Amino acid sequence: MAFDYQIPAVPQNVGDDVRPVSSAQTAEVKKRKGMIPGESQKSKIWGYIGIVLAGLVIAVPLYFVVITSFKTHGDIYSNPISWIPSPWAPENYSYVWNNLNFSRYMINSIIITLVLVVVKVAFGVLSAYAFAFIKFPGSGILFFLVIGTLMVPNEITIISNYALTAQLGWRDTFTGIIVPLAGTAFGTFLMRNHFRSLPKEILEAATMDGAGFFRTLFKVVLPMSWPTLMAFVMITAVAEWNQYLWPFLVNDTGRAAPLQIGLTQLQDVEGLTNWGPVMAGTVLASIPMVIVFLFFAEVHD
Amino acid sequence: MTAPTIPGLENSQPLREPPQRKAKKSLKRLFLAAILVIPNIILLIVFTYRPLIDNIRLSFYNWNISSTRAAKFIGFDNYIEWATDPTSWAIVWQTIIFTFVAVAGSMVLGLGLALLLDRNLKGRNLVRSLVFAPYVISGAAIGVAFQFVFDPGYGLIQDLLGRIGIESPQFYTDPHWALFMITATYVWKNLGYTFVIYLAALQGLRKDLDEAAEIDRTPRARKFFRVTLPQLRPTTFFLSITVLLNSFQVFDIINVMTGGGPLETSTTTMVYQVYQETFVNSRAGYGAAVATIMFLAVLVITVVQVRMQDKEQ
């Protein structure tokens, strides 16, 4: 299924300057020597105003959501907004966790994401290995078939997939959520391109030494692929954690529902009045991927 | 038994090797490739190509997805109904407006931010991470949270507007403001994507052209349009396709924020219409017809964009 479609390109450059060192240095040197004008004081000030504005536009709504999740009902309905909760109400969190099933949704989200990451990474690496290293008849056509799925938007697949899933009795189950999402075109494409960029000599040497498939994969190919593999894992984890449309359709009672669907149910239960618990649920559904992202950015620095 | 000959491989084995062993080896290779590739390909065929074809077939039927009654073949009736219903055209128009503003908005703002945060300013790493953060949060979570951000009574926006003496628009009951709210939320969430791609592209630009422009004391605006922007063209092209296709398919934000309303369909886009018709109104055949129309539109747009790009080069 083509849910892979929305996966972003590898975001490995966040907070990470990969400018070629040499030319940047020469520019710096020229600037110091007064050969070219450096940035004027005025343009620097405008730059900082821009940075602060951009930061605020992103940070203020996030801050607003987090503090609302710690506010009591009365505090939320105060005008003007109180920027620090008084009193603090962490009970919003225990309420959604214990009374509104969020512990269940959290476990479901973790199960679904873990299984999909493991399966997709395995499928991606294995089929990429075949497409990159093994010459076999029809490999060109099969690869085209895999990549072609990226061109199929998911709205055209949901109706028939839903009917099939219902027929198989998979509604409201992990199987029903996971299996239709488990194939990977994006991962196959990403890993194959990476595998083909590896030095041929090393692989030939491995073959000469009589290394079989498993030894070549685990001892030769994968050790040279960690950064790409990590990016693949992270992108898949974020995409699957945030998956919405398909789990939403398959869900019935909430038994196998991930957090994102739990949020919709929370909204239905609490309506548009009890914002404290709703915001607590939102924060709970988002925090794990924010942590994954920060960890990833850290690793890349 | 004869093994299949593999082009380019006939001579790759040592010549002394007896033919039977060679055949056995290539058979083994074929077997390994099959094991590695088949599970993934079967899943992709069953859950992408099969439903694609099945969806087109269903679009010619009158079919209730939640009933056991057999579907009834009705030819092009679903398509005719779609084309003659003014609501469909209103939804097409809304989809175009949403998509256009979302694409233009996130690309212009993403490029602006990338230019700003490419400069050597203190604190840029923090703001870079911050701008990307909403992109890793789900559309559902941001949609739910922004319902309260936009709340005309107690939300963040009304508070900020109130400080400069402006009364908050009725984001949930006014059709135009509701569409604005959806679009703004989408741009805010997805800005990180265009930003990161543009930032990476800026860092790969040719520094010699940049320096030449600086030495010539080219005015900044002129340098941007004559030096920077032309070099970014492949990135702009890539983004225009991916952002367009993604925003075309938005479901989560609309579903949690407005449910397609107010006034039934004011914020309904075509994807949401597919969902509504199929799963809420139980008219799966009609939903399938809308999905097919959308698919064709996506196909045409992509082909036109690729053609345009080819022509330029």
Domain segments of chain A as ranges: 101-270
All residues of chain B having their beta carbon less than 8 Å from the beta carbon of residue A39 are 119-120
CB contact under 8 A, A50 and B116: yes
Q: Tell me which residues of chain B, numbers 192 to 251, contact chain A at a CB-CB cutoff of 8 Å.
A: 192-193, 196-197, 199-200, 203-204, 207-208, 210-211, 214-215, 217, 220, 245-246, 248-249, 251
DSSP label at residue B119: S
Q: What's the complex ipTM?
A: 0.88
- On whether the CB atoms of residues B138 and A244 are closer than 8 A, the answer is yes
Of B34, B144, B210, the CB nearest to A267: B144
B300 to chain A, closest Cα gap in Å: 12
Residues 6+ apart with CB under 8 A from A137: B4, B6, B30
Q: Provide the CATH topology of domain B82-312.
A: MetI-like fold (1.10.3720)
Read off the pLDDT of residues A190-241 as tens digits, 9 standing for 90 and up: 999 999 999 988 888 888 888 888 899 998 999 999 989 999 999 999 999 9
Q: Judge whether B41 is closer than 8 Å to chain A, CB to CB.
A: yes
Tokens of A190: 């990403």
CA B286 to CA B59: how far, in whole Å? 6
| Closest Cβ opposite residue A61 in set B117, B149, B162 | B149
pLDDT per residue of chain B (313 residues) written in tens, 0 to 9: 344 444 444 444 445 556 677 788 788 889 999 999 999 999 999 999 999 999 999 999 999 887 777 888 999 999 999 999 999 999 999 999 999 999 999 999 999 999 999 988 888 889 999 999 999 999 999 999 999 999 998 999 999 999 999 999 999 999 999 999 999 999 999 999 999 999 999 988 877 787 888 788 888 888 888 888 989 998 999 899 889 989 989 999 999 999 998 988 899 999 999 999 999 999 999 999 999 999 999 889 888 888 888 887 6
Q: Does the distance separating the beta carbons of A39 and B119 come in below 8 Å?
A: yes
Q: Which residues of B23-55 are buried (b: 16+ CB within 10 A; e: fewer)?
A: eeebeebbebbeebbebbbebbebbbbebbebb
> Does A101-270 carry CATH code 1.10.150.20?
no
- Chain B contact set for A278 (CB, 8 A): 144, 148
pLDDT at A266: 87
pTM of the model: 0.87
CB-facing half-sphere around the CA of B161: CA atoms within 13 A:
15
- DSSP-derived letter for residue B60 is T
B-contacting residues in A 83-102 (Cβ below 8 Å): none
CA-nearest residue to B67 within chain A is: A163
Element (DSSP H or E) covering residue B62? strand B61-62
Measured between alpha carbons, how far is B160 from A300 in angstroms, rounded to an integer?
A: 37
B125 residue type, one letter:
N
Q: Which residue of A has its CA nearest to B191?
A: A58
Best residue in A160, A184, A188 to probe B by mutation, most B CBs within 10 Å? A160
Burial track A85-105 (b if 16+ CB lie within 10 A, e otherwise): beeebeebbebbbeebbbebb
> CB–CB of B207 and A185 under 8 A?
no
Whether B109 and chain A come into contact, CB under 8 Å, resolves to no
Strands B72-73 and B61-62: antiparallel
Question: DSSP 3-state assignment of B276?
Answer: helix
Task: Residue A10: name the closest of B260, B146, B193, B6 by CA.
Answer: B193
Determine the distance in angstroms separating the CA of B120 from the nearest CA of chain A, rounded to an integer: 9
Q: What's the pLDDT tens digit per position in A103-132?
A: 999 999 999 999 999 999 999 999 999 999
Choose among A8, A54, A139: nearest Cβ to B113: A54
Q: Distance (Å, rounded) from C-alpha A118 to C-alpha A115?
A: 5
Window from A73-82, A277-286, B70-79 with minimum mean pLDDT: A73-82
Kindly determine whether residue A80 and residue B37, on different chains, have CB atoms separated by under 8 Å: no
Q: How far apart are the first and last CA of chain A?
A: 34
Candidates A37, A59, A151; nearest CB to B130: A59
Q: Where are the domains of chain B?
A: 1-58, 82-312
